[in-house]
């Protein structure tokens, strides 16, 4: 009777492995491949728009410091000691 339980366990393990193999290779793998291909095609065909609310640095948004007339080559107030 012990060998019968062992054979049933082996058979059920074999069936479970075969079922898992079938599901992975014939269902999940093709779905992932088709999804990846569609994702690539959609990004190539449609124009990518950035809808994020990111800050944009522009020249108009800079606040210039007051009472500074001397500036270094980078546009910052010149604070070097001149003789």
Question: pTM score, two decimals?
Answer: 0.48
Is the pLDDT confidence value at 47 over 80? Answer: no
Three-state SS for 28-79 is: HHHHHHHHHHHHHHHHHHCCCCCCCCCCCCCCCCCCCCCCCCCECCCCCECC
Cβ 78 vs Cβ 70: under 8 Å = yes
Sort 60 into a burial class: Cβ within 10 Å, 0-12 / 13-18 / 19+. Answer: exposed
- In the structure, what pLDDT confidence band is assigned to residue 44 with cuts at 50, 70 and 90? confident
CA 49 to chain centre: 16
Structurally, how many domains does the chain consist of? 1
Residue 73's pLDDT is what? 72
Residue 22 lies in a domain: yes
- In the structure, what pLDDT confidence band is assigned to residue 72 with cuts at 50, 70 and 90? confident
Residue 10 lies in a domain: yes
Residue 31's pLDDT is what? 95
Residue 79 lies in a domain: no
Residue 28 lies in a domain: yes
> What mean pLDDT do residues 6-32 have?
95
Domain that holds residue 4: 1-40
């Amino acid at each position: 009777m012990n060998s019968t339980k062992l054979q049933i366990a082996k058979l059920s393990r074999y069936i479970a492995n075969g079922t898992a193999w079938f599901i992975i290779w014939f269902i999940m793998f093709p779905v992932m491949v088709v999804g990846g291909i569609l994702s690539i095609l959609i990004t190539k065909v449609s124009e990518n728009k950035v809808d994020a609310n990111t800050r944009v640095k522009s020249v108009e948004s800079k606040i210039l410091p007051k009472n500074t007339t001397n500036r270094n080559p980078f546009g910052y107030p010149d604070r070097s000691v001149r003789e």
